[in-house]
Amino acid sequence: MSRLPDPVRDGLARGWRVFGGPHAVLPERIDCDVAIVGSGAGAGVTAELLTRAGLRVVMVEEGPLRSSTDFHQRESEAYPALYQESAARKTADKAINILQGRCVGGSTTVNWTSSFRTPTATLSYWREHFGLDGMTAEALAPWFEQAEQRLGIEPWLMPPNENNDLLRRGASKLRIATADIRRNVKGCWNLGSCGMGCPTNAKQSMLVTTIPAALDGGAQLLVQTRARRLVHRGGRITALECVPVNNDGSVASPGITRIVARHYVVAGGAINSPALLLRSELPDPHERLGRRTFLHPVVISAAVFDEPVEGWKGAPQTLYSDHFLDSQPIDGPIGYKLEAPPLHPVIFTSTLPGYGRAQTELLAKFPNTHALLALMRDGFHAQSPGGRVQLRSDGSPLLDYPLNDFVMDGARRALLSMAEIQFAAGARVVLPVHERATTYASWAQAREAIAALPMQPLLTRVVSAHVMGGCGIAGDATRGVVRPDGVHWQVENLSVHDGSLFPTSVGANPQLSIYGIVNRLATSLAKSLAGREVALA
């Protein structure tokens, strides 16, 4: 049992206004200035800024309020409590498993802290193809700087864990550049349990930064409460209808909470944000809503080394390589970013291929196992239109993301690149995570085998932890759902402030892109609603 300070429990004791679940009973009606759907990266930044501007803010979060005291570094507790669909959210054909947060703080509570500004090549693509003239690295720099300052985003000075250092060593043998990943941590204990909620509050997630600031400033937070529908009339939202939900997502009781606000900000994360707009039957004259949803589809390569790796220990993802993004045009064959993820028993054993004795043999080498992942940069080519969010008959969202030949060609090249790096780092054997693959003992053998693998969905293991798009931002109404200022093209008092804004994938772990871009949008929203200048830092 941790005896470390818990700023969330302290805040509750101080009288934070939190409703739903085990907290105060949900009221039937709340009047406020701004209702924010969600409590993740975009919602948190927005809530703090609007509260600072003196606006009365209400946040609505579908998941529970859990904090460091509850974070026991156990996958069995974290996945059902903190993740969408118990960390088993899947695309329509079940070929991609999606990790996405569902708790106060959203994915920022459970992410692996990797912090990158939006790549300049991505911004230039957005300017050229989506009319986003203001999206330059120079124009965004001050907004990123503020977010970095507010969230302690700095170079990670501890030595990388072995799982990451193997990426560096293997890549450098092949003259492939790697670089350090900046992290949003203060006083990190280097435990490696980021994905289960930070037990020491070192991770500067929304849970311990912007949301406490907003709650201390008088904002209200509804938890275990789903934003079911935005009621609209004459091009304006008139109310947000919310219902209490159980941990499995079912409706907990028949009552409805109506939130009536001047302005509404949707920031429930990609997939869920477009789903709310779809459920609400908001205008979508150009059929953009829910489309162009991107995942950075990820393929994985495992490798066994003579020396211990202990991939569960130490900060995850502290080194990366953009070699396979930078060495080819952004609008050519799909490129990929390489990183070294944390390895924990449930995520590892449910991702690796095989069963029975072969699996047992492989798992016995878990302490000596290293893994690399390749995040494919989707959305920059006509053959990479991403997926489409639709609704099931019960109103829950379902993402259809076809893994076509264009994407799977990238998957093959990524498996080849990762295997080559792993052998260069001294791997005994390499296992591309694919149902038809086995362990290979040399680069020559792996190269030949991977070249012949059938690169099909459900045979190739594909996962995602970065959901983006679906409410795209664009310079004109035909190309997007929201305007460059984040306001809906057809609904004047509605904004979107989360990863669903992105018109393509980011091409890097998205959290800092959300913080920085939403910082700009929310600062200008605060000005227009309250007439006051505020700043995140």
Partner 1 sequence: MRRRTLLQLGIGSAIALAVVGGGIALVEPGLEPDGRLRPGARAVMGGVARGVLDGVLPADPAALDAALRSHLQRLDETLAAFPAATRAELSQLFALLAMPPGRLGLTGLGKPWDVATVAEIQQALESLRRSTLTLRQQAYHALRDLTNAAWFADPSSWAALGYDGPVNI
Q: Applying CB under 8 A, which residues contact partner 1?
A: 2, 4, 72-76, 79-80, 85-86, 88, 92-94, 189, 191, 193, 199-200, 247-250, 312-313, 345-346, 348-350, 355-357, 359-361, 363-364, 366-367, 392-394, 396, 398, 435, 458-459
Minimum distance of partner 1 from residue 357's CB (angstroms): 5
Provide the token pair at 220.
């209200």
The pair of three-digit structure tokens given for residue 46, joined into one six-digit string: 């927005």
Closer by beta carbon to partner 1, 73 or else 464: 73
| H or E element at residue 98 | strand 96-98
Angle at 14 between CA 51 and CA 220, to 5 degrees: 35
Distance CA 425, CA 448 (A): 19
Amino acid at 84: Q
Q: How far is the CB of 302 from partner 1 (least distance, A)?
A: 14
- Closest CB to partner 1 among residues 178, 293: 293
Nearer to partner 1, 177 or 364 (CB): 364
Pick between residue 457 and residue 503 the one whose CB is nearest to partner 1.
Answer: 457
**Closest by Cα among 50, 51, 68, 95 to 6:** 68
Q: Is the Cβ of residue 158 or residue 189 nearer to partner 1 in the bound state?
A: 189
The three-class DSSP label of residue 94 is: coil
Exposure string of 439-452, with b = 16+ CB inside 10 Å and e = fewer, is: bbeebebbbebbee
Smallest gap, in angstroms, from Cβ of residue 96 to partner 1?
11
Contact call for residues 501 and 289 (beta carbons, < 8 A):
no
Nearer to partner 1, 85 or 180 (CB): 85
Instruction: Return the number of the residue (51 or 73) whose C-beta is nearest partner 1.
Output: 73
Amino acid at 445: Q
Q: Of 341, 301, 335, 293, which is closest to residue 320 (Cα–Cα)?
A: 341
Q: 191 or 416: whose CB is closer to partner 1? A: 191
CB of 360 to partner 1, least distance (A): 3
What percent helix, strand, coil does the chain show, rounded to 5?
30, 25, 45
Q: How far is the CB of 94 from partner 1 (least distance, A)?
A: 5
Give me the least distance between CB of 494 and partner 1, in Å please: 26
Minimum gap (Å) between residue 290 Cβ and partner 1 = 16
| Sign of CA pseudo-dihedral 27, 31, 37, 40 | negative
Choose between 356 and 531: whose C-beta lies nearer to partner 1: 356
CA–CA separation, 375 and 235 (whole Å):
39
CB of 303 to partner 1, least distance (A): 16
Output the smallest distance, CB 85 to partner 1, in A.
6
Query: Rounded distance, CA 136 to CA 284, Å?
Result: 28
DSSP H stretches of helix in 341-442: 345-349, 356-363, 405-424
**Cβ proximity to partner 1, 115 vs 201, nearer residue:** 201
User: What six digits make up the tokens of 477?
Assistant: 């109404």
Closer residue to partner 1 in complex, CB, 396/478:
396
- Note every long-range contact of 21-27, with CB atoms under 8 Å and residues 24 or more positions apart, other chains counting: 21/64, 21/65, 21/223, 21/224, 21/225, 21/244, 23/65, 23/223, 26/222, 26/225, 26/242, 26/244, 26/255, 26/257, 27/257
**Residues near 362 by Cβ (< 8 Å), separated by ≥ 6?**
352, 354, 369, 431, 439
Q: How far is the CB of 65 from partner 1 (least distance, A)?
A: 17
Phi, psi of 263 (to 5 degrees): -135, 150
289: Cβ contacts below 8 Å, ≥ 6 apart: 274, 277, 278, 282, 470, 471, 481
User: At closest approach, how far in Å is the CB of 421 from partner 1?
Assistant: 24
Min CB(511)–partner 1 separation in Å: 24
Q: Please identify, using beta-carbon distances, which residue of 66 and 413 lies nearer to partner 1.
A: 66
